[in-house]
Amino acid sequence: MDLLASLNEQQREAVTTTEGPVLVLAGAGSGKTRVIAHRIAYLIAERGIPPANILAVTFTNKAAEEMRERVESLLRGSKLASAPLISTFHSLCVRILRRDIEALGEGYTRDFTIYDQDDSIRLVKNCLKELGYDEQRLSARSIQSAISHAKNSGLDAEMFAARVEYNDERRAAIARVFRLYDERLRANNALDFDDLLIKTVQLLRRCADIRQHYNAKFRYILVDEYQDTNALQFALVQLLTEQQQNLCVVGDEDQSIYKWRGADITNILNFEKHYKDARIIRLEQNYRSTQNILDAASHVVSHNTERKGKRLWTANPTGEKIRYYQAPDAEMEARFVAATIQEHLVNDPRARIAVLYRTNAQSRLFEEALRRLGIPYQIVGGFSFYERAEVRDIIAYLKLALNPHDSLALQRIINTPPRGIGRQTVDEIERRARDCGGSYWEAISIMTEQGDGRARAIAALKGFQQTITRLVTLAQRAPASEVVKAAIIDTGYELALKAEGTEEADARLANLQELVNAAVEYDAREGGGLREFLDAAALISDADQYRHDARVTLMTMHAAKGLEFPIVFIVGLEDGIFPHARAAADRAELEEERRLCYVAITRAQRILYLTHAMKRRVYGEELSAEPSQFLSELPLELIEDLSRGRSWLSLKRASIALEDRYAPRRYQGKTYDSVDSIAEFFRRRNARTDQTDRAAAVASQPGEFKPGTHVRHPKYGRGLVIKREGTGDSAKIIVNFPGYGQKKLIEKYANLEPA
């Protein structure tokens, strides 16, 4: 058995360098999983290392399972007394804690319960109630997120409390909830997901004998996706390698895209500082993509400063140019993508195609465009748009606006967002409805009219009644988009999400903004009312069954990491969307967005499309959009423009050509070495200059702004001239002003200045 025969030189080096710390910088598509699997098999088959002394950790069960299958395939026929441990970080921690958690001395036993996120949120709610906090002011979800973030940063309740400033009332409240939350966990003999890591690190730090046991057991350790490790995972690896440092970490700093989840890129950037005499091996041969795609990705990510640097190359063909399309608006962008996908599927029905976007909210337009053409698709990393919880919540409100007696819809949102209608009150409503044989709505009316029960609950029910009644009235006279906005804002749903202040809440809010956009477009296109809009949404939701063998996949760029497709569309390449608006004033955030762009580009094997729109709806209002700065960081000679008419790319190329034409050039003509010759030279040059100036004055009148020129307006600010009509005093120009849209101005009276 020759384990090395199929490996390239760098892969072979990574597999056979088994002693001491090794950092394998594995570029996208360079065979990372292959190297890890071969290294484990090599340790067992060639070095004679017992499988029980090998540990490999990664981040997902799917990755761990794939690794196990590859190792088993490589070692087929070998008689092994045991198998190497290949697991996720959390699975490893559970294994350690099930054996030794009692040594912590905190009252936990080996049969502890593990709480998932929903369990954690429910426990936070109980703590809020016990401490007397109003959940309408302190969201349980946002507090659970804050506690999770603190734990992933290595902070326990006491450490978190010690960092609270005296005048920060909200963080002081979170600290009190955090302390009680931990007490209740301990009383319940339960650990949340974050505790699995933090308790394991605490155990290994406090108990030298246990630490020595695992150091002796795991003599060879491999860590996959090392760029995604957080502070606790880094500490865990250090503790497990205290006595021996046969550690191999595999990762790519250019694919570190989970900072928002606690990942710390400095873990991989500073590997040599943490592990002296570390060996660095670069895997730069890409087996996935064409050279043009790799060159594009490398050019973009080279603008980052936080990187160790590598240059991807491939033996694959140079490949086709990257295809660029500028759409007039977001709907046309989606139609272009869907129509192009249809062409590819006609040419090759087995083609595998991915549409990648920055946030889940962007999927709706592409879903609808694909459905119009009857193209099946699947969504990875998120629900279909109309299946997302927040969208279903608002649709439940809209159903009540049309039919308050829809008890199923009412049951879903009666206390969403929280409004003080608890389980006991809901049980009473259900009992009353059952007794009178009516709907929940009728039962609520009886309860509020009689006024029996707790005063606080009755007041909350009256407020809920008033909210639904207002929606019922609005639905009878207003277009669908206005009712949708009211269902989001007047119900307090928007305010509750904003109060959470988490990235997840921002994403959910973006989905609701997209629901408003869908209603605005429906009003303009169909002219129907709320009922027709809901019927259309229901049809999409009912038919939303995805085949596992669908040729088209929609997903976020984050969800696409680790996957590959022959054909990839990267859509929504606009500033504020990608890069995300949060990155505008934060260099570290911008670099992470750029790494995400690198990840997205390198998912493509053969054909890559980049698209953006010049206008996009934001909360129902159509606004101008600026092309993403990442487009400017691409080598323009690698791009083919598919846009109709003048595009950002054509203007960019024209601008570069103009700069090249008038760039200073070194004089290579005749030289003059006498006073008379020099005087004659300047006389002739001045004569030519006068002729040129007179010709230019005839060709261009003062104040004339040509398409592609940037101008400044006293009211609208900086803009780009898109089109020019007419000449002289009657000349009109169309200018695109970011934030104001396109304006048609009479040039003579517009008070424009060059920008």
- Catalytic residue numbers, as ranges: 32-33, 224-225, 255, 603
- Cα dihedral across residues 32, 226, 121, 206: positive or negative: positive
Helix (H) or strand (E) segment spanning residue 298: helix 291-301
Query: What six digits make up the tokens of 6?
Result: 């199929």
* Angle, vertex CA 306, rays to CA 300 and CA 307, nearest 5: 70
DSSP calls for 386-444: GGSHHHHHHHHHHHHHH-TT-HHHHHHHTTSS--S--HHHHHHHHHHHHHHT--HHHHH
Q: Is the separation of the CB atoms in 199 and 121 below 8 Å?
A: no
Whether 26 has a binding-site annotation, put simply, is yes
User: What HEC string does 314-336 produce?
Assistant: CCCCCCCCEEEEEECCHHHHHHH
The residue written with tokens 């004569």 in the block is 687
Tokens of 692: 């040129």
Q: Is 31 annotated as a binding residue?
A: yes
Q: Report which of 360, 464, 451 is spatially closest to residue 416, judged by C-alpha positions.
A: 464
Distances (CA, A) of 70 to 38, 40, 166, 463: 8, 10, 55, 60
Q: Distance (Å, rounded) from C-alpha 94 to C-alpha 193? A: 10
Can you list the alpha helix ranges (DSSP code H) found in 188-207? 193-206
Give which of 7, 514, 561 is closest to 258, Cα–Cα. Answer: 561
Q: Comparing C-alpha atoms, which of 271, 231, 278 is closest to residue 251? A: 271
End-to-end CA distance of the chain: 69
627 beta partners: 574
Question: Comparing C-alpha atoms, which of 28, 9, 96 is closest to residue 600?
Answer: 28
| CA–CA gap between residue 353 and residue 565 (Å, rounded) | 6
Any known ligand binding at 671? Answer: no
Give the type of residue at 225. E
**Distance from chain centroid for Cα 541:** 24
Tracing tokens 């599927």 back to the chain, one arrives at 345
Tokens 């090249």 — which residue? 660
Please, how many CA atoms are within 13 Å of residue 147, restricted to the half-sphere of its CB?
A: 28
- Say how far apart CA 554 and CA 557 lie, in whole Å: 10
29 is in an annotated binding site: yes
Check residue 284 and report its DSSP letter: -
Q: What are phi and psi of 655, to 5 degrees?
A: -65, -45
Q: How many other CB atoms are found less than 10 A from the CB of residue 87?
A: 19
384 is in an annotated binding site: no
Phi, psi of 422 (to 5 degrees): -85, -175
Distance (Å, whole) CA 467 – CA 462: 9
Q: How many beta carbons lie within 10 A of that of residue 149, not counting itself? A: 16
Q: CB atoms < 10 A from the CB of 445, how many?
A: 16
- Residues in the annotated binding site for ATP: 26-33
- Residues in the annotated binding site: 26-33
